[in-house]
Amino acid sequence: MTRSDPIDLAALRRRDGEKWAAVDDGVLPAWIADMDFPVAPAVRDALLHRVDTDLGYATGYDESDGGPLGHTFADRMRRRFDWAADPTHVRTFTDINQAMQVVLHLGTTPGDPVVLHSPACPPFADVLARLGRPPRLVPVVHRDGDWQLNLDRVADEVRRGARALLLVNPHNPTGRVFRRAELKWLADLAVEHDLLVISDEVHADLVHEGGRHVPFASLSPEAAAHTVTLTSGSKAFNLGGIRCAVAHIGVPRVREAVDAHRGILFGQVSVLAMTALKAAWSSGDDWLDSVLGVIACNRRQVHRDLPSPLVHRLPEATFLSWIDCRPAGLGDDPAAFFAREARVMLFRGSDFGPEGRGHVRLNFATEPKVLTEILRRLNEAVTSLP
């Protein structure tokens, strides 16, 4: 794929996935984190081969040695991030949310507070509350030209009884990539207080030029022994509907608890899902590199062409822009304004917590001409303000 590859807008409108099916005719969706690019050829070929050969009961579901994806995951971590992940610690789940819930259910007890940086991906705080693990939100704030992590506040919450840290790195929605020194500080805190760290690293493959993703578990053997790393192909390879994720469970007691509960209780990932993710991680990097080139250009276009009252800071990773609309005076829910006046559907910032009021999240992983039209509509709507 190159930046000049055409994408038929009419074909996009015929899609029945949530991103396009949830909007009215004439509305351009830039909300949920799905990309608009064609399926990676390696994934398509692997799925067709599986369909043409055998859709019966699959072998390799015994995960005592990491299961069907253990070595694929470990090879990828070594190749891309210089992390010697242990393939025998890998377990498969239907998605990151399920893996997170299982790990919290088995690795903590009801009433245990969990630290989470805010603004936070919408399902996470809600899931914590539903599980009876009170979320302790620590705001990420923009100061001195950078998103700042309040490490002292995290430490305060741990001293007040927090038993786990849910770390989203790269961060959604700000696009911030945590620095090694910050991660090392958090790892030392986790080791000192025997803290369970659940590190959602699903955007790791989407770090832009100049940045580098550091897997939390790669910091030290001690950090790895306190960490469950979660990832999937849902973002980098647009496989959200495939429903396959992995957890690298470095915490022995959690890994043993997961294994003791395997089977019917958690379900099993389908053979098609595992086939798709294995193909993406093993043979999809050429496709990913071409996609990264497109979204890198789109990222700069968003920064250049957004209307001036809106505040945009270049994300260090992801294909998502976190936009501060408060200077334009659009109130707590600017997404409603843009849906009505621009016919563009953006993700409502308040869904990410209190820090998201007056913000929107824009997905720019689309064909450049579609993005140009989205930005034109946003500009026209803001220009029309009295």
Q: Kindly list the domain boundaries of the chain, sorted by start residue.
A: 9-41+285-383, 55-283
CATH 3.40.50.700 assigned to domain 9-41+285-383? The reply is no
Q: Which CATH class is domain 55-283?
A: alpha beta
Cis ω before 221 (30° cut-off from 0): no
Whole-number Å distance between alpha carbons of 107 and 125: 17
pLDDT at 241 over 50: yes
Residue 270 CA to its chain's centroid (Å): 21
pLDDT at 3 over 50: no
Confidence grade of residue 175 (pLDDT, cut at 50, 70, 90): very high
Asked if 141 and 148 touch (Cβ cutoff 8 Å), the reply is yes
Mean pLDDT of 338-359: 97
Comparison of pLDDT for 200 and 2, the residue scoring more = 200
Lowest mean pLDDT among 47-51, 63-67, 69-73, 273-277: 63-67
Q: What is the pTM of this model?
A: 0.95
Confidence grade of residue 61 (pLDDT, cut at 50, 70, 90): low
Using N-to-C axis directions, what is the helix angle for 41-53 and 271-283, rounded to 10°?
A: 140
**Cross-strand partners of 321:** 362
3-state secondary structure of 344: strand
pLDDT at 2 over 80: no
Q: Which amino acid is at 37?
A: F
Q: Smallest Cα–Cα separation from 197: which of 233, 154, 251, 148?
A: 251
Cβ-based burial of 246 (10 A; exposed 0-12, middle 13-18, buried ≥19)? buried
**pLDDT given at position 152:** 96
pLDDT tens for each residue of 116-167: 999 999 989 889 999 999 999 999 999 888 999 999 999 999 999 999 999 9
**pLDDT given at position 153:** 97
pLDDT tens for each residue of 16-36: 899 999 999 999 999 999 999
**pLDDT given at position 13:** 87
**Rounded percentage of the chain residues whose pLDDT exceeds 70:** 96
**pLDDT given at position 301:** 98
Average pLDDT over all residues of the chain? 94
**pLDDT given at position 62:** 63
pLDDT at 329 over 90: yes
pLDDT at 45 over 60: yes
CA angle 242, 245, 266 (to 5 degrees): 95
**pLDDT given at position 7:** 56
